[in-house]
Amino acid sequence: MEKLIILYSQKGCPYCIELKESLNKENINYVVRDIDKYRLEWDKVVKITENEYVPVALVLDVPNKKRKFLAPDRDWDEINECVSKIKTLIK
């Protein structure tokens, strides 16, 4: 696996559900990190992105040791915009 997508999500979040459904429709694989279960990891994401809103997508380019966070209101406004950016990053 060259690129890994981690989706920081919260139970009951309608935007998180919508993003997951959109990624599923595009056949884009991802790993979910519930921010309530991975609190320490989420705290680091909040510090890096300066954003406390979910969903946040992290695209890891494993071979090149690069990462790109996609945070709402910072990197995208609509779910389809986030999906489009993810698709570009995983090419």
pLDDT given at position 24: 98
Residue 63 has pLDDT above 90, yes or no: no
Region 10-23: mean pLDDT is 97
Strands in 66-70's sheet, in edge-to-edge order, are 31-34, 3-9, 56-61, 66-70
Q: What's the pLDDT tens digit per position in 29-53?
A: 999 999 999 999 999 999 999 999 9
C-alpha 11/C-alpha 21 separation (Å) is 14
What letter represents residue 35's amino acid? I
| Burial environment of residue 84 by CB neighbours within 10 A (0 to 12, 13 to 18, 19 or more) | middle
C-alpha 79/C-alpha 19 separation (Å) is 6
